[in-house]
A and B are shown apart, each in its own frame.
Chain A
């Protein structure tokens, strides 16, 4: 049986003038996953999210959100979706609590009789209980970000769409948000997390799609993506020849030699300890031996380029 998809797009495209901000992307977000939507600034993440939530109309392509067609059955899907889009936004002249009450009152499917409890629970969950009566204009960016998350959590959700949820948070706040995401995911909620920070995606996500200039350039399990880059064995020794000989005997070839260091691509599952023992038994004096796991960083930079400049 095919895996159930929480979000599925086909050929999704959004054109602004003659620029394709999103260029024919086909997302497949499995239910229950923590799905990283990774890409540098301007790569089209927020624009994609706007289309997923029916805020903007796709120029071309199809969207299925929680099994319903968007925008046709938008109102069937939205009550099950919590979202943070392009940063939080609130009425600065109202308290955090009143802002949540307001948004929940606007929701045509929400239950008024449980409104106050749900708002309190959401404030509790993001640690804003004590600041709930403060006006939002007195909130720090981090507090607004939390309030935005509280808004996404006003009702039980099947999926959370979070657009750069740790933007503007201090390290402490960032950690708390990550923990919150983990605990929500543990409850079975699918998380669609956009970020320009690879480290964040690596820490939290099971799956990833990498965006660059409006296109998805890689998508799948994080593990698979990481393994596309080779694992390297690094060996430092003064007995280069003997070492190369021994490596060959163990099926490790194509050694690159630089000074006293040998580098070669190996199977990620290589048993370094037993290899080391074999080297020693051949009288190779090993100064250092280790595996260099490929980092997603390498892959990401390779895919999206190193530059600081926004691509367009």
Chain B
């Protein structure tokens, strides 16, 4: 009874559909490939990088394998993770509409608001799965190819291996939060069409536009409002003591995007004619 009221069964069913799809596993595999490629490339190259050359942390990877996950996150955050998010978030409603299953869900009856909420929560689960996959595979491949030991942080502080795992989990959570606003944008776009590929593309475009706006100095006044603004700042979690400021600001900002685009998605989806 309790499970029913909270819609837990529908939520589990959403996850089952998502994780039955080969596409979901292919995307997670591709995410896992990022730290693997990175680590293998670094291990194979004899050329030493001068400090400051290449992506941040790249030098550290060779000295401590536990950095692989962090470095891979730096590489994946601007484009690849948002790409997978746009696929999942753009598909939420448009995918069901495209298949025609949306009409059967609605007459079952699922309840439009309930469906929207569960779809959004399921896309968050995918993001969590993606970010944790990247960090875990990163740590594993790093441990295989490079020495592992206590981690020296950006501020010069050293933390134990055990604490390093805690920081990895924090980084995965931070990036999940970072992408949650974009997922809400994707959810809204997904209610506008019955063509999932269109919704996915449009969602990806919004993150691209946000990144571009964020790099134009003349538009500085709007930068802190962009959902991409705090994406790079997960590095603040690698300081000692941790700088929680960007995490908190990020949460507030993303909640704002979720509220606005959640409301838009609600407004659109609850009044929409389902003609697919």
Name A's B-contacting residues (CB within 8 A): 50, 53-57, 74-75, 78-79, 81, 83, 85-94, 98, 101-110, 112, 151
* A146–chain B nearest beta-carbon distance, Å: 15
Query: Given A55-B273, A89-B104, A90-B99, do A105 and B13 touch, yes or no (CB 8 Å)?
Result: yes
* B212–chain A nearest beta-carbon distance, Å: 36
A105 touches B109 (CB 8 A): no
Residues of B within 8 A of A106 (CB): 10, 13, 105, 108, 110, 115
B100 touches A86 (CB 8 A): yes
Query: Which of B17, B109, B114, B273 is A102 in contact with, Cβ under 8 Å?
Result: B17
Residue of B nearest to A161 (CB): B107
Inter-chain CA distance A102–B18, complex, in Å, is 12
Q: How many residues of B contact A (CB 8 A)?
A: 30
Q: List 5 A-B contacts (CB under 8 A).
A: A53-B103, A74-B109, A93-B22, A105-B9, A151-B104
A85 touches B103 (CB 8 A): yes
A89 touches B20 (CB 8 A): no
B109 touches A79 (CB 8 A): yes
Query: Does B169 touch A at the CB level, under 8 Å?
Result: no
B104 touches A94 (CB 8 A): no
Residues of A within 8 A of B104 (CB): 85, 89, 103, 151
Residues of B within 8 A of A112 (CB): 3-4, 9
Residue of A nearest to B21 (CB): A93
Residue of B nearest to A85 (CB): B103
Binary per-residue interface labels of chain B (140-160) against chain A in the complex, 1 for a CB within 8 Å, 0 otherwise: 000000000000000000000
Query: Does B43 touch A at the CB level, under 8 Å?
Result: no
Inter-chain CA distance A19–B9, complex, in Å, is 42
Residues of B within 8 A of A57 (CB): 271, 273
A89 touches B13 (CB 8 A): no
Residues of A within 8 A of B268 (CB): none
B99 touches A89 (CB 8 A): yes
Inter-chain CA distance A306–B271, complex, in Å, is 39
Interface residues of B in 252-276 (CB under 8 A from A): 271, 273-275
Residues of A within 8 A of B271 (CB): 57
Name B's A-contacting residues (CB within 8 A): 3-4, 7, 9-10, 12-13, 16-17, 20-22, 99-101, 103-111, 114-115, 271, 273-275
Interface centre among A101, A107, A112, by most chain B C-beta atoms within 10 angstroms, is: A107
* A107–chain B nearest beta-carbon distance, Å: 4
B105 touches A103 (CB 8 A): yes
Residues of A within 8 A of B3 (CB): 112
Inter-chain CA distance A112–B17, complex, in Å, is 18
B107 touches A55 (CB 8 A): yes
Query: Which of B7, B99, B274 is A91 in contact with, Cβ under 8 Å?
Result: B99
Residue of A nearest to B12 (CB): A105
Query: Which of A55, A93, A101, A107 is B274 in contact with, Cβ under 8 Å?
Result: A55
Residue of B nearest to A55 (CB): B274
Interface centre among A89, A91, A104, by most chain B C-beta atoms within 10 angstroms, is: A89
Residues of A within 8 A of B13 (CB): 101-102, 105-106
Residues of B within 8 A of A92 (CB): 99
A56 touches B275 (CB 8 A): yes
Inter-chain CA distance A106–B12, complex, in Å, is 10
Residues of A within 8 A of B20 (CB): 91, 93-94, 98
Query: Which of B4, B9, B17, B275 is A94 in contact with, Cβ under 8 Å?
Result: B17
* B106–chain A nearest beta-carbon distance, Å: 6
A89 touches B108 (CB 8 A): no
* B95–chain A nearest beta-carbon distance, Å: 9
* B54–chain A nearest beta-carbon distance, Å: 40
Inter-chain CA distance A191–B82, complex, in Å, is 48
Residues of A within 8 A of B9 (CB): 105, 112
Inter-chain CA distance A75–B110, complex, in Å, is 9
Residue of B nearest to A56 (CB): B273
Inter-chain CA distance A92–B115, complex, in Å, is 20
Inter-chain CA distance A56–B274, complex, in Å, is 6
* A164–chain B nearest beta-carbon distance, Å: 14
B108 touches A103 (CB 8 A): yes
Inter-chain CA distance A101–B16, complex, in Å, is 11
The 4 lowest CB-CB distance pairs between A and B, nearest first, are A89-B100, A105-B13, A107-B108, A56-B273
Residues of A within 8 A of B108 (CB): 78, 103-104, 106-108, 110
Residues of B within 8 A of A78 (CB): 107-109
Inter-chain CA distance A50–B104, complex, in Å, is 11
Inter-chain CA distance A57–B108, complex, in Å, is 17
Inter-chain CA distance A103–B271, complex, in Å, is 22
Residues of A within 8 A of B109 (CB): 54, 74-75, 78-79, 107-109
Inter-chain CA distance A151–B3, complex, in Å, is 23
Inter-chain CA distance A91–B110, complex, in Å, is 17
Query: Given A50-B275, A93-B21, do A102 and B4 touch, yes or no (CB 8 Å)?
Result: no
Inter-chain CA distance A45–B137, complex, in Å, is 54
Residue of B nearest to A115 (CB): B9
Residue of B nearest to A155 (CB): B108
Inter-chain CA distance A92–B20, complex, in Å, is 11
Residues of A within 8 A of B115 (CB): 106
* B22–chain A nearest beta-carbon distance, Å: 7
Residues of B within 8 A of A107 (CB): 108-110
A89 touches B101 (CB 8 A): yes
* A44–chain B nearest beta-carbon distance, Å: 13
B16 touches A102 (CB 8 A): yes
